[in-house]
Structures are given as structure tokens and as C-alpha cells.
């Protein structure tokens, strides 16, 4: 009898290959995350390229890109799916309660930790951040990437922005004693309508004709979502570096504040995850609650800061926690969404 062939020995993986595999599994070699870091680095090196002084109409490009994102989201939504998403009232209550109740109450709870005039000013900036609505584009994009409940995400992100027009001025007027110009705030609502609501409605109405095409090319549409997010990050940081928002703060202070914003994000993320499990949400609904309930809008914050604090000398300090939270939430949420959205990810 012939002897059985000896098994072919596979060469041991090198330490370098093992490290690459480990980083890729953790999501640290994902092209989108590297793109986010690259966008921030490029904005630091060439702030004028993406600021208002640039000859490139970045404002029109990014706004048009966001509108196109929501049009294609609507194109993939049938009326039946949309109605089913709107009926999920427990999910909507959780997201809006986290955004407009838990965040501000958490800021009020830590107020005694901020002593002195400088500490009080920093706490006011953090409280202002906590009263803001959720983002629209990034929340829905992250839910889409993570394969969550997209109709519910569109509803929650949109209604959060509308509620924020009323609730953010109310919170700041009660606690920080501010006032706002209602005409400008309703202008923000009109902008939201043109940029988000109308494209979604147009897409839903065309779902019967073009919905199959959008579903067939959802991979390419997902890639376009990520490109738009990279452009938003690049232009936001270009504007910040060009205006010197970070220039007057020591690196140590910004680092400690950044750690605080990471802690805030992870605390909210963990609380939403635990509450969603306690309420028995499906995996798709938990993903939607996580990414819609943990975000804060830089766009709304920038506009409302100028309206609610028109005479404030420390506008840079007011926006600093928001800028850091905005950057960190995109980076952290992108890593989590990419990991959750992988085909091999098992539902929990």
C-alpha cells in the first residue's frame, strides 16, 4: 500500500502579515477611516483649499451631494417600507429622548465639576453641544453602512432637525438665558426641507420605476455616500483651520477636552445600546437608535451659535467642543458602522 501523502505544511504567517490582518479586522485599515484621517490632515496642510475663500464651490457641491444621497435613499424605499418605519414609535421616542433630554441632563449633572470663570465658559459650550439636534446626512449614511433600519433613520434624523429648531433655543434660554431670531431658525427649517425632505419624497415617488435599479447598484451608492462624508469632513476642517479656531488653545487642553468628548460619545452609545436591548429592539432598530441618538449636528450648531449668542466674544470656545465631538463622532461611528455592516457580521 502506498503511504499517505504528508500534509503540505503552510508557511507560518509573518508578524507583519499578522499585524495587518489584526488591524484590518479591527477596522483600522479600512479605506474610509484612512480617508477621514487623510481629509483632516489635508485640511490642516491646505486650509484655504476647502474654505470659503476657495474658488471651488464646495458649499454647492456638498449640499448637492447630500440632496443626491437622500434622493437615492428615497428611491430604495417603497411606501410600504416607509409606513412600517414610521409606525415604530418606541424607536422614535428613544432616539429623540436621548437627543433632547438625556444629553442636556447629563451636561447639567456634571456642571459642579467645572469651577471658576474659565470652567463655567467651557461648561456652557458643552451644554450648548448637548442641546443640539442630531445630524441628518451622517446619521442616515452610518445607518445605511451598518445595514440598519433606513426608513426609521431618515424619519428620526429629519424630525430631530425640525425639533431642534424649537428645543435647542428653549434649553439655552432656560439655562444660559439666550434669545433667538425666529426668522433665521425657520430659514434653517426651509433649507432642511429643500435638502432632505423633498429629495426623499421625490425618490419614494419614483421607487416603482427606478427602485430596482437603485437596489441593484446599492454598493456604488454606498461608496458615493462615503465620498460625500469625506468632502463634508474636509471642508468643515478647512474652515476651522482657516479661521484659527484651535489656535488659541494649548494642545493639552484640546487633548483633555477631546478625551471628554470621546467619553461622552461612548457613554451615550453604551446607554442607547443597553436601553435598546432592554426594550427588545431588533438588530436593525438598535443600529438606528445608536447612530441617530448619539450624533450632534455641526451645521445646526454653527448656525444656532451665531443666532443664540450674537454678541459672544468667545464664539470659538463655544464651538470648540462641538468641533471635536463632530470629528470624533464621525471617526468612531465610521469604524463601528463599517464593522457592523460587513457581510460576515453576525446579528446579535
Q: Are 139 and 133 in contact (CB under 8 A)?
A: no
- Give the whole-angstrom CA distance, residue 128 versus residue 130: 5
- Of 59, 340, 81, 330, give the one whose Cα is nearest residue 200: 81
- Give the whole-angstrom CA distance, residue 66 versus residue 327: 18
Q: What rounded mean pLDDT belongs to the chain?
A: 78
User: Residue 293: pLDDT band by 50, 70, 90 thresholds?
Assistant: very high
- Average the pLDDT over 267-285 and give the result: 92
Q: How far is CA 341 from CA 33, 145, 146, 310, in A?
A: 14, 6, 4, 42
- Average the pLDDT over 132-146 and give the result: 84
Greater confidence (117 vs 264) lies with 264
pLDDT of 13 over the 90 cut: no
User: Residue 23: pLDDT band by 50, 70, 90 thresholds?
Assistant: very low
Which of 30-44, 91-105, 279-293, 312-326 has the weakest average pLDDT?
312-326
Q: Are 43 and 238 in contact (CB under 8 A)?
A: yes
Structural domains present in the chain: 34-44+53-338 (1.20.1530.20)
Which of 47-56, 122-131, 209-218 has the weakest average pLDDT?
209-218
What is the pLDDT at residue 332?
84
Greater confidence (15 vs 192) lies with 192
Give percent of the chain with pLDDT exceeding 70. 78
The predicted-structure confidence for 31-55, as pLDDT tens digits, reads as follows 766 787 788 789 889 888 888 788 8
What is the pLDDT at residue 267?
93
Q: What is the CA radius of gyration of the chain?
A: 22
User: Residue 4: pLDDT band by 50, 70, 90 thresholds?
Assistant: low
What is the pLDDT at residue 18?
47
What is the pLDDT at residue 30?
61
70: cell is 437622500
What is the pLDDT at residue 28?
45
DSSP one-letter string for 51-114: STTSSS-HHHHHHHHHHHHHHHHHHT--HHHHHHHHT-HHHHHHHHHIIIIIHHHHHHHTGGG-
What is the pLDDT at residue 314?
46
What is the pLDDT at residue 218?
73
Torsion of CA 315, 316, 317, 323, to 10 degrees: 120
Amino acid at each position: 500500500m502506498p503511504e499517505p501523502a504528508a500534509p503540505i505544511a503552510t508557511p507560518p504567517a509573518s508578524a507583519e502579515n499578522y499585524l495587518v490582518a489584526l488591524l484590518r479586522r479591527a477596522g483600522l485599515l479600512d479605506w474610509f477611516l484612512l480617508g477621514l484621517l487623510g481629509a483632516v490632515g489635508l485640511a490642516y496642510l491646505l486650509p484655504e483649499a476647502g474654505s470659503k475663500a476657495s474658488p471651488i464651490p464646495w458649499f454647492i457641491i456638498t449640499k448637492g451631494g447630500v440632496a443626491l444621497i437622500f434622493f437615492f435613499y428615497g428611491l430604495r424605499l417603497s411606501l410600504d417600507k416607509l409606513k412600517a418605519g414610521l409606525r415604530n414609535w418606541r424607536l422614535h421616542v428613544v432616539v429623540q429622548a436621548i437627543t433632547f433630554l438625556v444629553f442636556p441632563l447629563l451636561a447639567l449633572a456634571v456642571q459642579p465639576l467645572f469651577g471658576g470663570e474659565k470652567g463655567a465658559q467651557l461648561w456652557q459650550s458643552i451644554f450648548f453641544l448637548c442641546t443640539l439636534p442630531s445630524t441628518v446626512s451622517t446619521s442616515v449614511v452610518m445607518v445605511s453602512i451598518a445595514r440598519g433600519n433606513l426608513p426609521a433613520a431618515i424619519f428620526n434624523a429629519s424630525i430631530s432637525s425640525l425639533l431642534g429648531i424649537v428645543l435647542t433655543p428653549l434649553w439655552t434660554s432656560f439655562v444660559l438665558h439666550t434669545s433667538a431670531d425666529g426668522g433665521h431658525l425657520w430659514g434653517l427649517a426651509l433649507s432642511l426641507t429643500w435638502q432632505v425632505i423633498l429629495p426623499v419624497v421625490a425618490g419614494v415617488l419614483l421607487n416603482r420605476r427606478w427602485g430596482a435599479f437603485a437596489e441593484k447598484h446599492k454598493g456604488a451608492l454606498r461608496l458615493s455616500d462615503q465620498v460625500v462624508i469625506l468632502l463634508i469632513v474636509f471642508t468643515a476642517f478647512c474652515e476651522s483651520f482657516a479661521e484659527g479656531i484651535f489656535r488659541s488653545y494649548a494642545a493639552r487642553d484640546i487633548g483633555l477636552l477631546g478625551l471628554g468628548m470621546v467619553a461622552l460619545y461612548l457613554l451615550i452609545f453604551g446607554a442607547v445600546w443597553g436601553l435598546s436591548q432592554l426594550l427588545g429592539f431588533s438588530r436593525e432598530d438598535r443600529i438606528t437608535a445608536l447612530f441617530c441618538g448619539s450624533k450632534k449636528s455641526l451645521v445646526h450648531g454653527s448656525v444656532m451659535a451665531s443666532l443664540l449668542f450674537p454678541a459672544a466674544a468667545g464664539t470659538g470656545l463655544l464651538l470648540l467642543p462641538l468641533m471635536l465631538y463632530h470629528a470624533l463622532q464621525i471617526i468612531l461611528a465610521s469604524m463601528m458602522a463599517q464593522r457592523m455592516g460587513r457581510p460576515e457580521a453576525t446579528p446579535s
